[in-house]
Chains A and B, each alone.
Chain A
Amino acid sequence: MPALAMPEPDADILDRRETIVAGLAALVGKDAVIHDSAATVAYECDAFVAYRCPPLAVVLPSTTEEVAAILRFCSQHALPVIPRGAGTSLAGGALPTADSIVLGIARMNRVLEIDTANRFVTVQSGITNLAVSQAVEADEFFYAPDPSSQLACAIAGNIAMNSGGAHCLKYGVTTNNLLGVRMVLMNGEVVDLGGPHLDPASLDLLGVVCGSEGQFGIVTEATLRILPKPEGARPVLMGFASNEVAGACVADIVRAGVLPVALEFMDRPAVIACEAFAQAGYPTDVEALLIVEVEGSAEEIDEQLDRIKRVAMKHSPEVLRESTSAVQSDLIWKGRKAAFGAMGQLADYICMDGTIPTSQLPHVLARTAEMAEEYGLRVANVFHAGDGNLHPLILYDANKPGDLDKCEALGADILKLCVEVGGCLTGEHGVGIEKRDLMRQQFTDADLELQMRVKDVFDPAWLLNPAKVFPIDMSAPRRLRNAPGRAA
């Protein structure tokens, strides 16, 4: 039995499989419904691969109207719906149950409007994150949030999880770059929230929809803020003798009034793995490596990097290497961007995502190392230091019985530590099923109750992505209220 239990499927729904599939096909056509078990298996998990379960059926609508028809149908038949973008969630956000319908948005991937004068684009939500930037590249614009999965991940999923990326220190995360959505509610109603104009007319519903993990509605279109591309960007690489010194250097850079566009941190195990994998020219004899990138014209970059280097020199870096060419810049980033692939070559791993106040960096890194030692596991750290968003990668052996359990237990301890020092359980991946049962570490019952009441408004029957985000026992009464046939 896996550590993170999902509710038992509703036997009554499973019995009605054939009529349900026929009903869906009648709405959107047979080619948009997948129900053969050989094919639904492709939707059994997202990037949180330790947990898998094929859904009852997958439906792939092509229009907002089709989404509305599907949701009305599922409402009438009390069928749980699992929204799916590109399935790159690291938290199990798109994990189905056997009695659920996966609603995949991948066929809705068109750009609907590009307006550079007013600096926005409107897209269908199945488009990939990178494709948005590519669509406006010729006009010298870009879409700022850049999660590492940007080649594959869909805007729909970015909105659901309020995704971040390496450049949010300067540009913010999805919620800061999302201007509007068209969203279908579980009852089939279509609502438009926000738009190319700024700020809401009344309550900021757009703000609470972003990051609601697919539990409020299905976003089919999004209006996104686009930004003019900077004239240029250049990173500098710095190596330090200890995590503490590197952490102090990060604090001083921020204090000096410079706002780098990225401020990335890698510890020694991560540096060694990345260098072996990507040959980026990283020094492998330092304990901590910082990559700091600034933007602007050539002169502006020089001025900012001068200030940063002056600060860094006070911390006696072992290595300080400023990129002097596009090739060198690419190389510096190549190692960092290869981090997850590099770790994957070494071992199985799970990637944690807590955030801490940056003042707590040295303490949290030291304590993490101690805890890993106690568990007998290895941890590598690659993270966004400027905003305190940690990504400890815990290595384990999937073939060794009990290793995954141990790994998950260490992960939970690290996240508890993040909360203890004033941070949070997840900075950009979302809660999903992964952190669901840890929510009481960060929130009181009153906090969680009010959040669940917000879901009650958008999805009174708790059919959209149920059994996620909230501790499973806590959401049970609400899930059961509407589906007495289903086990909690």
Chain B
Amino acid sequence: MGATTSSPGDEAQLAEAVRHAASARQAVEIFGGGSKRGWGSPLEADTTISTGKLAGITLYEPEALTVVVKAGTPLTDLQSALAEAGQHLPFEPGTYAKLLGNEDKATVGGTVACGVSGPRRIQAGACRDALLGVRFADGEGAIVKSGGRVMKNVTGYDLVKLLCGSHGTLGVISEVSFRVLPKPEAVGVLLLTGLTDDQAVAAMSAVLSSPFEVTGAAHTPKGLDGDPVTMIRLEGFEKSVRYRCGELKERLARFAPADIETRPERTAAGWAWVREVDTFAKREGAVWRVSVKPSDGPAVVAAVADEHQVEALYDWGGGLVWLLADASGDCGEAVIRRAVADVGGHATAMRVPDDAAVSARFHPEPPPVAGIVAGLRRQFDPHGIFNPGRMGA
């Protein structure tokens, strides 16, 4: 945290706080609820801008499937308001608070700034896909908007996508609008035990290539009782879920017999466990987040395991691989980056000791792309004051 903290209560105060920091060339840490602190490189800030007082739902039209909400609003407040109207955020964001050892006070703004998407991302899209508009202060204290609150909008460049996942390096988000969806009436989860990683990814691929709209596909080589468990989720109206569970059970028979779990509290707990990477939360070690195409997941894990001690958790049908790696040396960085480079994708160090010999928390981009990224940072934040270094150079 910086030596001073300002908590603007509206956009005018936010703009003023940014202009003050910009004129003094102060490094600013942007702070929502702190649940995801530790993701990205540590930074030495002169001052902190907290979004805590920029809170509240500005507008909610359930019949238009849209909500406009201020950045500092606690994520749980937004989720409760949506649930009351039978709706939810389709991208199922986690907070990673347990994984990163933080208090779980995630805000809407932090969720967007980090671009967090949970298991349903494979079917309902990512945070960036549900994000219809943003308002933010740029590095010179101008309040800028992009997008809006309608779901079809191609007016001007889509800066919304740039802000989402920019980890506070482009601007301080003050308000966002989302597309929301009806909360499913029923959930059914097919559980298969004993599959190898390769078999599990093949099974998940088979169901994701079916017309049955699978909204979650995860695999742990070590479930609660030590055996591998593969989880496939279906959501929707009750009759439809029952029908599709039956169809998928048949298609999965060649892999393993499937148990079907439909108790809401059990299914919710299971997917929260996947979403928050609970399995690695209380364990010692570095945590990497790897994105590859699903069929490459097991091979990447095997290649890494040859040289560095790791355990894996697969989400997104195998395309999102969480690795718990021995935290000595470079935490496995070199071998992980090499394995990912061989197949295409990226790896992020989500949790490593501050003094770890990790050269880059975020996956390095090739030179022309890195040049564009650096150029964009200069345009949004000419004095380089926002979360300097958090995403690397």
Contact = CB atoms under 8 A, between A and B. Distances in A.
Interface string A251-275: 1101101110000000000000000
A450 B137 CA distance: 11
A3 interface: no
A424 B153 contact: yes
Contacts of B170: 203
Nearest to A200: B165
Given A203-B166, A208-B161, A453-B379, A197 B152 contact: no
A205 B211 contact: no
B264 interface: no
B61 interface: yes
A229 B212 CA distance: 9
B159 interface: yes
Contacts of B95: none
A443 B161 contact: no
Interface string A262-304: 0000000000000000000000000000000000110110011
Central interface residue in B129, B211, B294, by most chain A CB within 10 Å:
B211
Nearest to A232: B211
B273 interface: no
Contact of B152 (A190, A428, A442): A428
B65 A254 contact: yes
A189 B157 contact: no
Nearest to B171: A450
B333 interface: no
A352 to B, nearest CB: 13
B228 interface: no
Interface stretch (B20-28, B74-82, B235-243): B235-243
Contact of B144 (A161, A211, A446): A446
B63 interface: yes
A207 B293 contact: no
B391 to A, nearest CB: 6
Contacts of A457: 372, 375-376, 379
B115 to A, nearest CB: 7
Contact of A195 (B128, B143, B345): B345
A435 B144 contact: no
Nearest to A169: B151
Contacts of B142: 446, 450
Interface in A424-454: 424-431, 435, 439, 442-444, 446-448, 450-451, 453-454
Interface string B48-74: 000000000000011111100000000
A26 B255 CA distance: 58
Interface in B108-153: 115, 117, 121-122, 125-126, 128-129, 138, 142-146, 148-153
Contacts of A118: 205, 293-295, 319
Contact of B368 (A191, A203, A454): A191
Contacts of B292: 197
Specify which of A197, A206, A357, A423 lies most central, judged by the most chain B CB atoms within 10 Å of its CB. A197
A359 B373 contact: no
Nearest to A358: B64
Contacts of B270: none
Interface in A316-363: 355-359
Interface string A376-391: 0000000010011100
B165 A384 contact: no
A168 B150 CA distance: 13
A228 interface: yes
A315 to B, nearest CB: 13
A173 B368 contact: no
B369 A255 contact: no
Contacts of B316: 198
A117 B209 contact: yes
A430 B154 contact: yes
Nearest to A390: B152
A202 B158 CA distance: 16
Interface string A225-240: 0001111000000000
B64 A303 contact: no
A428 B154 contact: yes
A198 B373 contact: no
A115 B366 CA distance: 25
Contact of B156 (A193, A230, A447, A456): A447
B293 A423 contact: no
Contact of A172 (B125, B149, B346): B125
A212 B268 CA distance: 40
A443 B156 contact: yes
Contacts of B64: 251, 254, 357-359, 388
B210 interface: yes
A365 B6 CA distance: 46
A330 to B, nearest CB: 20
B153 A448 contact: no
Contacts of A426: 153-155
For B170, B293, B344, B366, the residue with the greatest tally of chain A CB atoms inside 10 Å of its CB is B293
A427 B154 contact: yes
B165 A210 contact: no
A431 to B, nearest CB: 6
Contact of A205 (B148, B154, B208, B373): B373
B161 A356 contact: no
Given A172-B129, A176-B125, A230-B211, A300 B148 contact: no
Given A172-B129, A198-B126, A357 B155 contact: no
A450 B380 contact: yes
Given A175-B161, A197-B346, A198-B121, A254 B63 contact: yes
B205 A424 contact: no
B381 to A, nearest CB: 11
A371 B160 CA distance: 33
Contacts of B146: 447, 451
Contact of A117 (B63, B162, B210, B295): B295
A127 to B, nearest CB: 21
B161 A423 contact: no
Given A117-B205, A197-B293, A211 B154 contact: yes
A228 B379 contact: no
Nearest to A204: B161
Contact of A357 (B117, B150, B183, B208): B150
Contacts of A252: 63
A303 B240 contact: yes
Contacts of B208: 119, 228
Given A176-B125, A297-B243, A251 B156 contact: no
B152 A173 contact: yes
B243 A164 contact: no
B34 interface: no
Interface string B355-379: 0000000110110110011011001
B164 interface: yes
A195 B61 contact: no
Given A176-B125, A202-B365, A446-B144, 9 more contacts: A164-B152, A175-B129, A197-B292, A254-B65, A442-B156, A443-B145, A454-B376, A456-B375, A457-B379
Interface of B: 61-66, 86, 115, 117, 121-122, 125-126, 128-129, 138, 142-146, 148-162, 164-166, 170, 181-183, 185, 205, 208-211, 237, 239-240, 243, 291-295, 316, 319-320, 344-346, 348, 362-363, 365-366, 368-369, 372-373, 375-376, 379-380, 391-392
Q: Which 6 A-B pairs have the closest CB atoms?
A: A207-B161, A201-B346, A427-B152, A251-B63, A257-B182, A457-B375
9 contacts: A117-B205, A117-B209, A118-B319, A141-B209, A191-B372, A195-B344, A423-B150, A424-B155, A447-B156
